[in-house]
């Protein structure tokens, strides 16, 4: 490494720079800013790349600490880590091996250092709904660390796949800054090698066949995007090979047909599919995936609004582009995707006619083709890409487009107006670039609304638009701004508006889409792409390379409204595409016949047609409606209904769009369904659904929820069925058996194992039956979800509905707000004839209210097994697996939850408990639980939380410094007392030794509000400061408190706060010891960091750890020591004690007046209140405890600001 020092004197000159002005500092003799990547070597095992730059940019900003600088890379992006030094980076993608995990090594570098310079902190990713200038500079933990940021000058992004190649982004970070020493390091050269680690990586590319040809639409993308792409190695497919799939709302098919004909005439193979043959967003994605795999595909055009053909979604938001992710698990499009959004056939016709005129009929001499408009807000600056304000950004684009041959007119927020823009569009413009704020119905910087668009008169002068703005493309629930540009017509119904518009469905970020817009315009100028989709997609690839996750979110949600294959007309290529002059149609196909007829599928075959030029495909029609296109003389028809008659015919077509006459018609009836014979057993032993099993998913936006999971959570063996949550409401999702022959049968028993990983209330699980999979009938079994999991259990349901049929279908169903479950697992389904022959199904509740001589447990009878439960309760013993022959406590009959109290227990003794339920078929037992009684002296324990899901907190040490806080309410904790032990329940055995601190404090808050850790522990008592020396799986880990905590109950809840301080980067796995938790909304909070303690705001969640608290003097309110005058001392006494039902309360006090007596049980519940007026010094009252269960009760007396407690034992 060569190290070059420069004087810091020159830095002092920088402070005279104008704010937001970028000053380029040159690193050599060349006085021009450049930055670029050079491919030194590329082989299967090693890629060597050299990065070099001639200058770096400094932008002066004002922070709370005074003037500072932002460091910019030429043609680069910013790191954007909030609070860290705001430094630039440069990125470049390379093709990497299909399956290897890759590593990067720095081979050589040269750098310069500048001393005593202040670098401003990054503001992070900023939404365009916010003005960057309104966000203050906040200095992060990096400014307290004596180290260079970033630590690495070269890293690799996650691998991704674009159709034919797997790529990774080389991220060069040529600037490092040490905030403590104020030293800035600038690298002028960095050479790296990217090598295989010899291990399999993630997001691998699995090829079905060797790559020998490339789609011509993507060849230029590869050449532009990948540094090591060698075009000469592959044969580009001809223009005629471009394949386009149009998925159309059925009633709009005739309106879009002229576009199909035109596209075929200019070399496309276009397939039109009616949406009704697909049916849902999930099915549409699967259809596109299969079409891509089978036929190859370049362009996807969706025709219809969301109500007609639904959009898909990703974690970022609504996303048509999600349909174009067909290879790998990344966010780089493999297909160009666009939409003709329309709510009527007339609106489709408007967009088709625009496209036809623009590509086919518009003359190359049209003056609008060389005119353009730039629109920019008056905001931005340090938050923008390359530190540019919106105006600087648009000025740069204007310069580039002007040099290319456009005449660009500014219509900025400062100086522009709606009337000016309307005039420019009506007189003719070919391109509009916009950067600024937006809404669902307008551009908000230089306000231009949907009403303004609808009033345009620019027929036959349609611009294409690149829009960087928030939510202008949010079309799912309203007619958005982008849709208006595409749909509008004038008073004579002539099309007006734009030919294509890219608009986001969500709030866009400030910087990343600016980089994409720059790239889109640069590619247009270079004549790299003639299709709007190609230009648009390549710009998004550049954005993802530069901005990572934020770039992916923008790419997911940036939607093309219009034809993605649109041939853009620009000063560099004024002419449109040329159509074939062929007008001769192919001959009609002959000898159409069917074969391989099954219940839901069949095969069609025919004799080939002939054509003067060549047949490009065959359109298949079902029952008189278009079904699909085949490029061969056979077609496999799927998705049919068993026992149903259909008619089919076929038409041939050529590249010019000429269609033949219809073939002969063939009539076919599918086979009747094959019913299963009783008894039926299915244990799901494979990774795919068994033959004949189907699903139904009903609800707006719902996707397939059922899959096979390689787990055994329901109590069977892998595999098992799994139903997964989705944020859609309401939803009904079913897993359906094949038809079962129940002829002559009047009752069956449907049995299954299941387990529910719950989230909250809002979903009903049930069993239904049907004879046609259309009309469904509920059976006797249903369960409403709560925040508590349903442990693995077996359910047997007697069924009498929809029987005595050759086609009885059974369905397990989840209905409601599907976000309120996490996962529902189902296994080992059986259907047997006759009534139930099974015992009940029962679960056991964890022990609680544990004292030295008593405890409480219980259970839940979830199914009666088809016979009445005549007895239920708990049995317990000091040996494992107790039965009703041991000690037992009965608690009612029937199904449902119950509790039972155990008394007369021995102190400091381990007990085992099982719930039981009895019906005529026998006795069923729940899962065994255990507990240990206290050692005596009035102590007790309480367990809060019964969930079995796991997480690291509160004992995780995956990060070097972990913090978590959990709130438990007085209703859960119970009566007052002295807390002397805290325990959590890990499910993994660990061996690492970790410093642990535990704090407790009282609070009247009922939920946790996000705060810093310092705020959270303010006022808390440090009750434990020691070490956790590993954990044992499925055993409570106890922390005996070095400082006990006085819990006063009343209106006080408690907050338990835990620190693990391993240091550096942590000791264990991400799950830590996998402590069990129960969902409790906004009652848990966590924050974590490596190397130094976290200082930011914590994250609030619902994953509250299960906890066991041990008390001394349970039920006695801890008193605050205070000095009183001897004459004011008060006292109470109760007798007889123990009592058999009534006792006397004596109050000794000089006070006369109102008195409130409250009786509590040992878990803090109020049993009764007795208010009265005291009139004597020694007052006595008789109080009844009749009809209460035996046990210990607390007598609480409040008067004259005093609180006094005593215990009473009821025999």
What string of H, E and C letters represents the secondary structure of 747-801? Answer: CEEEEEEEEEEECCCCEEEEEEEECCCCCCEEEEEEEECCCCCEEEEEEEEEECC
CATH of 843-858+865-932, one of 3.30.950.10, 2.40.30.170, 2.60.40.10, 3.90.870.30: 2.60.40.10
Q: Tell me the C-alpha distance between 780 and 775, whole Å.
A: 17
Rounded distance, CA 602 to CA 605, Å? Answer: 10
What digits encode the pLDDT tens for the residues 461-495? 999 999 999 999 999 989 999 999 999 999 999 99
What are the residues facing 168 on neighbouring strands? 94
Q: Distance between terminal CA atoms of the chain? A: 86
CA distances from 939 to 981, 1115, 1205 (A): 11, 9, 16
Q: What is the pLDDT of residue 9?
A: 30
1013 neighbors 1031 (Cβ within 8 angstroms): no
pLDDT tens per residue, range 488-523: 999 999 999 999 999 999 999 988 999 999 989 988
Compute φ and ψ for 358, nearest 5 degrees.
-65, -45
Q: pLDDT at position 163, please?
A: 84
Which of 331, 393, 411, 470 is labelled catalytic? 470
DSSP label at 734? E
Token duo for residue 733: 């999702």
**Residues 890 and 873: beta-carbon distance below 8 Å:** yes
Here the tokens at position 418 are 């709606």
Helix (H/G/I), strand (E/B), else coil: 995? strand
Q: What is the distance between the alpha carbons of residues 1195 and 255, in angstroms, rounded to a whole number? A: 82
| Domain ranges across the chain | 2-200, 241-561, 590-669, 676-833, 843-858+865-932, 940-1112, 1126-1210
DSSP string for residues in 385-448: GGG-BHHHHHHHHHHHHHHHT-EEEE--TTT--HHHHHHHHHH--SEEEEES-EETTEETTTTE
Q: For domain 590-669, say whether CATH 3.40.50.261 is its number.
A: no
Distance CA 1003, CA 64 (A): 35
> Which stretches of the chain score pLDDT less than 70?
1-20, 209-210, 212-213, 215-217, 231-241, 382, 528-529, 579-581, 835-837, 934-939, 1067-1071, 1113-1131, 1162-1164
Is the bond preceding residue 719 a cis peptide, omega within 30 degrees?
A: yes
Comparing 2-200 with 590-669, is the CATH topology the same? yes
CATH architecture classification, 940-1112 = Sandwich (2.60)
Token pair 């309760």: residue = 873
The CATH number given to 676-833 is 2.60.120.200
Q: Which CATH number fits domain 1126-1210: 3.30.70.890, 3.50.50.60, 2.60.40.2550, 2.60.120.10?
A: 2.60.40.2550
Out of 331, 393, 437, 754, which one is annotated catalytic? Answer: 437
Mark whether 437 is an active-site residue.
yes
Helix (H, G, I), strand (E, B) or coil at 10: helix
The shares of helix, strand and coil residues in the chain, as percent rounded to the nearest 5, are 15, 45, 40
Q: Which CATH number fits domain 241-561: 3.30.2090.10, 3.40.50.300, 3.40.50.2300, 3.40.50.1460?
A: 3.40.50.1460
- In CATH, what number does 2-200 get? 2.60.40.3800
**Count of other CB atoms within 10 angstroms of residue 402:** 12
- In this prediction, residue 20 carries a pLDDT of 57
Residue 1003, pLDDT score = 93
Helix (H) or strand (E) holding 39, with range, is strand 35-42
CA distance 63 to 65: 5
Q: What angle do CA 629, 357, 352 make, to 5 degrees?
A: 40
């Amino acid at each position: 490494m060569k190290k070059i020092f420069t004087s810091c004197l020159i830095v002092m000159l920088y402070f005279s720079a104008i704010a937001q002005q970028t000053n380029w500092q040159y690193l050599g003799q060349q006085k021009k800013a450049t930055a670029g990547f050079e491919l030194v070597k590329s082989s299967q095992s090693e890629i060597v790349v050299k990065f070099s730059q001639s200058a770096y940019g400094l932008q002066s900003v004002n922070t709370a600490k005074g003037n500072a600088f932002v460091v910019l890379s030429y043609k680069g992006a910013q790191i954007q880590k909030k609070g860290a030094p705001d430094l630039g980076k440069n990125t470049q993608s390379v093709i990497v091996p299909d399956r290897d995990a890759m590593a990067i090594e720095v081979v050589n570098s040269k750098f310069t250092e500048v001393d005593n310079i202040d670098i401003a902190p990054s503001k992070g990713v900023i939404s365009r709904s916010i003005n960057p200038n309104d966000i203050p500079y906040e200095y992060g933990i990096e400014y307290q660390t004596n180290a260079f940021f970033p630590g690495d000058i070269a890293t690799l992004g996650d691998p991704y796949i674009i159709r034919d190649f797997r790529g990774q982004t080389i991220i060069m970070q040529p600037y490092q800054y040490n905030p403590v020493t104020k030293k800035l390091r600038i690298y002028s050269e960095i050479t790296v090698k990217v090598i295989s680690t010899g291990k399999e990586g993630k997001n691998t590319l699995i090829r079905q066949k060797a790559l020998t040809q490339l789609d011509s639409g993507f060849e230029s993308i590869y050449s532009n995007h990948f540094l090591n792409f060698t075009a000469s190695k592959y044969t580009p497919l001809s223009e005629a090979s471009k394949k386009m799939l149009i998925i159309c709302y059925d009633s709009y098919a005739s309106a879009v047909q002229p576009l199909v004909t035109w596209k075929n005439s200019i070399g496309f193979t276009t397939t039109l599919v009616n949406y009704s043959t697909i049916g849902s967003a999930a099915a549409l994605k699967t259809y596109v995936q299969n079409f891509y795999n089978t036929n190859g595909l370049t362009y996807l055009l969706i025709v219809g609004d969301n109500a007609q053909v639904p959009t898909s979604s990703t974690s970022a938001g609504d996303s048509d582009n999600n349909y174009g992710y067909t290879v790998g698990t990344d966010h780089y499009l493999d297909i160009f995707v666009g939409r003709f959004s329309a709510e009527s056939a007339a609106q489709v016709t408007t967009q088709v006619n625009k496209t036809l005129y623009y590509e086919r009929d518009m003359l190359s001499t049209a003056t609008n083709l060389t005119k353009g408009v730039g629109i920019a807000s008056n905001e931005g600056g340090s938050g923008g890409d390359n530190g540019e304000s919106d105006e600087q950004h648009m000025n740069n684009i204007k310069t580039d487009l002007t040099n290319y041959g456009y005449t660009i007119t500014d219509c900025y927020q400062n100086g522009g107006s709606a009337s000016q823009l309307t005039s420019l569009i009506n007189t003719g413009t070919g391109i509009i670039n916009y950067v600024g704020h937006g809404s669902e119905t307008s551009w908000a910087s230089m306000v231009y609304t949907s009403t303004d668009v609808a009033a345009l008169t620019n027929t036959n002068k349609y611009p294409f638009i690149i829009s960087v703005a928030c939510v202008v493309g949010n079309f799912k629930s309203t007619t958005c701004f982008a849709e208006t540009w595409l749909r509008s017509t004038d008073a004579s119904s002539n099309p007006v508006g734009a030919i294509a518009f890219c608009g986001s469905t969500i709030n866009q970020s400030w910087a990343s889409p600016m980089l994409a817009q720059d790239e889109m315009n640069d590619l247009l100028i270079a004549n790299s792409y003639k299709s709007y989709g190609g230009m648009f997609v390549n710009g998004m690839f550049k954005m993802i390379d530069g901005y990572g996750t934020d770039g992916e979110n923008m790419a997911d949600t940036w939607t093309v409204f219009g034809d993605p294959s649109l041939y853009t007309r620009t000063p560099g290529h004024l002419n449109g595409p040329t159509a074939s002059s062929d007008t001769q149609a192919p001959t009609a196909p002959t000898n159409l016949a069917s074969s391989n007829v099954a219940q839901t599928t069949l095969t069609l075959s025919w004799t080939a047609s002939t054509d003067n030029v060549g047949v490009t495909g065959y359109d298949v029609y079902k029952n008189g409606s278009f079904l699909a296109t085949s490029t061969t003389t056979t077609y496999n028809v799927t998705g049919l209904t068993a026992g149903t008659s259909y008619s089919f015919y076929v038409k041939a077509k050529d590249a010019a769009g000429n269609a033949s006459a219809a073939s002969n018609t063939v009539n076919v009836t599918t086979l009747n369904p094959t019913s299963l014979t009783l008894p039926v057993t299915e244990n799901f032993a494979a990774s795919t659904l068994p033959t004949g099993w189907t699903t139904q998913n009903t609800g707006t936006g719902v996707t397939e929820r059922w899959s096979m999971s390689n787990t055994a959570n329901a109590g069977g063996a892998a595999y098992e069925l799994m139903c997964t949550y989705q944020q859609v409401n309401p939803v009904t999702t079913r897993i359906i058996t094949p038809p079962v022959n129940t002829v002559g049968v009047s009752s069956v028993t449907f049995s299954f194992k299941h387990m529910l990983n719950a989230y909250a209330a809002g979903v009903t699980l049930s069993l239904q039956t049907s004879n046609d999979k259309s009309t469904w009938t509920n059976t006797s079994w249903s369960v409403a979800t709560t925040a508590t999991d349903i442990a693995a259990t077996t359910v047997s349901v007697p069924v009498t509905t929809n029987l005595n049929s050759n086609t009885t279908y059974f369905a397990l169903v989840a209905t409601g707000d599907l976000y309120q479950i996490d996962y529902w697992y189902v296994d080992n389904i059986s259907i047997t004839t006759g009534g139930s022959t099974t015992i009940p199904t029962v679960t056991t509740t964890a022990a609680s209210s544990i004292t030295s001589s008593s405890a409480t447990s219980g259970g839940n009878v979830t199914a009666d097994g088809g016979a009445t439960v005549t007895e239920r309760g708990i049995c317990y013993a000091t040996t494992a697996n107790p039965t009703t022959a041991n000690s037992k406590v009965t608690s009612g009959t029937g199904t449902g939850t119950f509790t039972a109290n155990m008394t007369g227990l021995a102190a400091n003794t381990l007990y085992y408990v099982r719930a039981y339920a009895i019906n005529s078929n026998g006795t069923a037992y729940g899962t065994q639980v255990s507990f240990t009684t206290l050692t005596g002296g009035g102590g007790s324990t309480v367990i809060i939380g019964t969930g079995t899901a796991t997480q690291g907190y509160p004992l995780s040490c995956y990060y070097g410094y972990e913090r978590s806080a959990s709130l438990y309410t007085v209703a859960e904790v119970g009566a007052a007392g002295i807390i002397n032990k805290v325990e959590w329940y890990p499910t993994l055995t660990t061996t690492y030794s970790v410093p642990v601190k535990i704090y407790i404090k009282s609070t009247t808050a009922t939920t946790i509000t996000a705060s810093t850790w310092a705020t959270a522990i303010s006022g808390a008592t440090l009750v434990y400061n020691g070490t956790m020396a590993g954990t044992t799986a499925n055993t409570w880990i106890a922390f005996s408190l070095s400082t006990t905590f006085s819990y006063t109950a009343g209106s006080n809840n408690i907050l338990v706060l835990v620190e693990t301080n391993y240091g550096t980067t942590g000791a264990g796995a991400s799950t830590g010891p996998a402590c069990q938790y129960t969902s409790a909304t906004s009652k848990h909070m966590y924050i974590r960091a490596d190397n130094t303690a976290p200082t930011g705001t914590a994250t609030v969640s619902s994953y509250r750890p299960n906890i066991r608290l041990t008390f001394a003097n349970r039920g006695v309110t801890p008193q605050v020591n205070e000095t009183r005058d001897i004459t004011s001392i008060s006292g109470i006494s109760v007798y007889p004690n123990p009592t058999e039902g009534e006792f006397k309360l004596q109050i000794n006090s000089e006070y006369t007046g109102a008195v409130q007596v409250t009786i509590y049980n040992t878990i803090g519940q109020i049993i009764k209140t007795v208010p009265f007026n005291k009139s004597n010094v020694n007052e006595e009252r008789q109080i009844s405890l009749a009809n209460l269960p035996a046990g210990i009760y607390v007598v609480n007396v409040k008067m004259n600001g005093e609180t006094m407690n005593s215990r009473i034992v009821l025999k």
